[in-house]
Amino acid sequence: MSSLSISRIKTESRFVQWVLIGVALLYLFLLLFLPIILILVSALKKGFPMYVQALQDPETWVAIKLSLFVAVVAVPLNVIFGLFAAWAITKYSFRGKSLLLALIDLPLSVSPVISGMIFVLLFGANGFLGEFLAAHGIRVIFAVPGIILATVFVTFPYVAREVIPVMKAQGKDEEEAAMTLGANGFQIFTKVTLPNIKWGLFYGVILCNARALGEFGAVSVVSGHIRGVTTTLPLHVEILYNEYAFAAAFSVASLFIGLALFTLLLKHIVGFRLKREGLK
Amino acid sequence: MFKNLGLVAAIVFFGASLSYGQSTILNVTYDPTREFYKDYNKAFQGHWKKTSGQTIQIRQSHGGSGKQGRSIVDGLEADVATLALGYDIDALYDQARLIPQNWQKRLPNNSSPYTSTIVFVVRKGNPKHIRDWDDLVKPGIAVITPNPKTSGGARWNYLAAWGYALKKWKSEAKAKDFVKALYKNVPVLDSGARGSTTSFAERKLGDVLVAWENEAYLMINELGPDKYEIVVPSISILAEPPVTVVDKNVDKHNTRKVSEAYLSYLYSKEGQELAVKHYFRPQDKQIAAKYSAKFRPVKLFKIESLFGGWQKAQKTHFSDNGVFDQIYAK
Amino acid sequence: MQNKSRRRTILPGFGLSLGYTMMYLGLVVIVPLSMLFFKTSSMGFSAFWEATTAPRALASYRLSFGVAFLSALINAFFGFIVAWVLVRYEFPFKKIINVLIDLPFALPTAVAGIALATLYSPSGWVGQFFDKLDIQSAYSPLGIVIALTFIGLPFVVRTVQPVLESIESEIEEAAASLGANRWQTFRAVLFPVLFPSLLTGFTLAFSRALGEYGSVVFISGNMPFKTEIPPLLIMTKLEQYDYSGAAAIAIVMLLTSLLLLLTINLLNRHVSRRVNDELA
């Protein structure tokens, strides 16, 4: 009897629950599931063999490889930054912290058109460093380094943004205790801080990686669209779409949905491992 | 920090490995030429192998004409530029001195190996009875054309309409009214020509699509001959998409010879045949005669004769606060 | 003052972490963005003023801030409900739905724009119903709101979710044992704790919406004065090789975003401090 009344006060009535679930699902259905369904339906419009064929196209593979390479470089850079920034922001108080936080968020609100343009202004042939780069034969814009730079810029806030709240919530007592026990900074970070923030970090990496693979606007400005050389996966989708290969375009786009499902799998595996370690 | 340095080194290495050797040229071109150059590159590779014994690799970059021109100015190392309008290639001289000022005199026919014109695409059976430009300004007709501020193809559309009105009423003011009325019927200004095509075909917007002739045919072939038909107006503009070698880049890459051969082969019988196959109007008289049935006759005017060339047309009509902006000003 | 506050903790690494943060922020964000100022410095004040306050530019700012605010508001409301049901209730397919929430980050914006335009155009799956009601969904400000809501969907869910998960049931039980009903508990106990994260999610969704380009151009229709967003104006300026004019509009957008982010961060700190005080 008493356990029932406690569960009653801790949650809502069945009716309220289902209304809320209904509202949430309707919202997600209209905005999220329908576009996903549309992409899958359009991808399979010409049958499954065509779907497989679109994914086996050599140009698709070049695009996949390039996108993965860009993410592999860009994400670790932002992870290192995110950890340093979170440490500085959550463990100490200093002036101008709000400004620093706002600056970290800034790339989120910068239009992709602008994020591409600034790198052209900086590294383009008529840009700030253009003559220097040309004289030394270094190609940044319209080549892979430019794509990486634009991607790093666009995905800049994600890891820091995810890690900061978790690190903040966790406080600094544990670290200070470890400190008084004689641990050095590196030990404190790897043995105390990192286990506590691992999920925040994990989410940050996933979001950062997703955005890095999916960025279109900024990359489009700096890529030069050279087929099979500087076309990332999103640019490849655009090319296919512009060639009226709608089914193929959506087939490649569906890879991004696959990516999300792959992330789920990854999360489960990681979660399982961690749980087993905990049991030991 | 060392980890970062290693990464930077890897990036530079990766970037360098993508630089092209002597046997590669880059053709930076606009959107509607994708299919044509896919075929043409194959043909040229065979031709070049036969005449010089060398194997040549040709890379393609497609996009909006203006954006492509800007990319070359900003350092995209194109060996040849094949864009939608002379203005975008002029910029290679104006903005960066990549080519000489007289570039357009270097190849025959104003450096345009193929031409096109602006036509209408309507839904099968022409339910709204669209025959000529006058029908586009009638109330209740929805016209699909891209934004001339961001699309080169859209500028040809705009100038074709303007030219028609100017020829009809012989008055700039009347022409402006006509074009204004036309754009009143435009519900969506896509940022590029292919965007407009998909709006018209995939989203079923509008009653008539104003488009390049070659785009119109391609679209009908790709998306359904049973769904659309082409209407050729009484008079239209001669669209001349020009080509040029980008001197500064070919000299740097040592690719001048092959790049020039690449462009002049466009004027050969084989090149012209391929252009026809992709619904570009050929310059070669014999080929034109051979395929006279394929292209419906239409009275064509040139941009030079009515607008005094691209530089002037761009400045008057499409710059900030130009005529196109005035049409939309409140 | 500064030294005193810094001395509050004994943890090492302040100089290193803040130093690295500033250096990386400077290289990746500040230097590229400063190109905008460098580019406009040559144009003189009157030209700058003219470029940024043209009636068409003003109309585009109004539109952009309006639709971004509206979509962030929609996301705050529904995203909160989604986070709530995902954490608190059980329903079929919950796990997979939870994963799909991140998809708007991963999906290239152009693909999102194409899919949404196809859905909401008058002949689309959803658009036809709007059409029957004589409401124009795609190619109107409403269409832009739809696209921006899609783009910003994960932010609120993902910021509220972890906080909601970490709330301990004791607080609620205490409130209930003091005689509060469910709604009172929510309003007086849960909501104040969740509010800072909700505000953060709102801010992120809002800033992301301000800069969005890729998905909007496909669904907005790009009509001057009606559905033209500032990034499109930047594109038209670039088309005329008017780099400084483009940079000028970019600066206006940039500074406004920065100001907004700063204000909301300060507000957030203020709110969370008050909440902490109340809880203590």
The tens-digit pLDDT sequence of chain A (280 residues) is 344 444 555 678 889 999 999 999 999 999 999 999 999 999 998 889 989 998 999 999 999 999 999 999 999 999 999 999 999 999 998 888 889 998 998 998 899 999 999 999 999 998 899 989 988 989 999 999 999 999 999 999 999 988 888 888 788 888 889 988 988 888 898 888 988 888 889 888 988 998 899 899 899 999 999 998 999 999 999 888 888 888 999 999 999 888 877 876 777 777 667 666 554 3
CA distance C56 to chain A (A): 18
CA gap A120, C250 in Å, rounded: 14
pLDDT at B288 over 90: yes
pLDDT at A271: 66
Q: Is B278 on the interface with A (CB under 8 A)?
A: no
**Given an 8 Å threshold on Cβ–Cβ distance, is C95 in contact with A264?**
yes
**Given an 8 Å threshold on Cβ–Cβ distance, is B149 in contact with C236?**
yes
Sorted by sequence, the CB contacts under 8 Å of residue B304 that are 6+ apart come out as none
**Given an 8 Å threshold on Cβ–Cβ distance, is B205 in contact with C122?**
yes
Written as six digits, the tokens of B258 are 């092959």
With H, G, I as helix, E, B as strand and everything else as coil, classify residue B58. strand
**Given an 8 Å threshold on Cβ–Cβ distance, is B67 in contact with C245?**
no
Q: Is B18 on the interface with A (CB under 8 A)?
A: yes
- Mean residue pLDDT across chain B: 91
pLDDT at C185: 85
Structural domains of chain B in order of their starting residue, each with its CATH number: 2-112+240-290 (3.40.190.10), 115-239+298-328 (3.40.190.10)
Which residue is closest to B11 within chain A, CA to CA? A145
pLDDT at A195: 87
Phi-psi region of C21 (alpha: psi -120 to 50; beta: other; left: phi over 0): alpha
Angle value at C-alpha C239, between B315 and C46, nearest 5 degrees:
70
CA gap C70, C139 in Å, rounded: 17
pLDDT at C159: 85
For C83-136, the pLDDT digits (tens) are 999 999 999 989 889 888 888 888 888 889 989 999 998 888 999 999 898 888
For B115-166, the pLDDT digits (tens) are 999 999 999 999 999 999 999 999 999 999 999 998 888 999 999 999 999 9
CA gap B9, B273 in Å, rounded: 48
C-facing residues of B in 175-214 (CB < 8 A) are 187-191, 195, 202-205
pLDDT at C5: 44
Place of tokens 């100089």: C15
Long-range pairs, A98-104, Cβ under 8 A, ≥24: A98/C262, A98/C265, A98/C266, A98/C269, A99/C262, A100/C21, A100/C25, A101/A164, A101/C261, A101/C265, A102/C258, A102/C261, A102/C262, A102/C265, A103/C25, A103/C29, A103/C30, A103/C258, A104/A156, A104/A157, A104/A160, A104/A161, A104/C25
pLDDT at C166: 79
pLDDT at C190: 86
**Across residues B246-263, what is the average pLDDT?**
96
Q: Of A39, A108, A119, A266, which to mutate for an interface test with C (greatest number of C Cβ within 10 Å)?
A: A108
**Given an 8 Å threshold on Cβ–Cβ distance, is B67 in contact with C54?**
no
Written as one letter, the residue type at C33 is L
Q: How many CA atoms lie within 13 A of A70 on its CB side?
A: 36
Least confident of B7-11, B16-20, B38-42, B184-188: B16-20
pLDDT at C6: 44
The number of angstroms, rounded, from the C-alpha of C245 to the middle of its chain's C-alpha atoms is 26
CA gap C166, A170 in Å, rounded: 11
Q: Which chains touch C (3 or more CB pairs under 8 A)?
A: A, B
Chain A residues touching residue C96 (CB < 8 angstroms): 261, 264
Q: Of B60, B76, B199, which to mutate for an interface test with A (greatest number of A Cβ within 10 Å)?
A: B76
Architecture of domain C63-228: Orthogonal Bundle (1.10)
**Across residues B68-87, what is the average pLDDT?**
95
The angle, 0 to 180 degrees and rounded to 10, between the axes of the packed helices C169-177 and A2-10 is 110
Q: Which chains touch A (3 or more CB pairs under 8 A)?
A: B, C
C-facing residues of B in 73-92 (CB < 8 A) are 73, 91
**Given an 8 Å threshold on Cβ–Cβ distance, is B74 in contact with A69?**
no
**Where do the structural domains in chain C lie, given as residue ranges?**
63-228
pLDDT at C3: 43
Strands (DSSP E) contained in chain B are 24-29, 57-61, 80-82, 114-123, 143-144, 208-212, 228-231, 235-239, 243-245, 281-282, 299-301
For B10-35, the pLDDT digits (tens) are 544 444 444 444 589 999 999 889 89
CA gap A162, C136 in Å, rounded: 37
**Given an 8 Å threshold on Cβ–Cβ distance, is B61 in contact with A241?**
no
Q: Of C56, C228, C236, C244, which to mutate for an interface test with B (greatest number of B Cβ within 10 Å)?
A: C236
Q: Is C92 on the interface with A (CB under 8 A)?
A: no
pLDDT at C252: 93
CA distance B71 to chain A (A): 7
Nearest CB partner across the interface for B222, out of A141, A148, A244:
A244
Low-confidence stretches of chain C (pLDDT beneath 50): 1-7
CA gap B102, B114 in Å, rounded: 19
CA gap A198, A277 in Å, rounded: 14
CA distance C229 to chain B (A): 12
**Given an 8 Å threshold on Cβ–Cβ distance, is B329 in contact with C55?**
yes
Least confident of B57-61, B320-324, C256-260: C256-260
* The model's pTM: 0.89
Chain C residues touching residue B320 (CB < 8 angstroms): 54, 236-237, 240, 242, 245
Q: Is B21 on the interface with A (CB under 8 A)?
A: no
Q: Which residues pair with A176 in a beta bridge?
A: none
pLDDT at A5: 47
Q: Is B7 on the interface with A (CB under 8 A)?
A: yes
**Given an 8 Å threshold on Cβ–Cβ distance, is B188 in contact with C55?**
no
Nearest CB partner across the interface for B61, out of A69, A126, A225:
A225
Chains A and B form CB pairs within 8 A to the count of 88
Chain C residues touching residue A88 (CB < 8 angstroms): 14, 17-18, 21
Q: Of C4, C35, C71, C186, which to mutate for an interface test with A (greatest number of A Cβ within 10 Å)?
A: C35
pLDDT at A9: 55
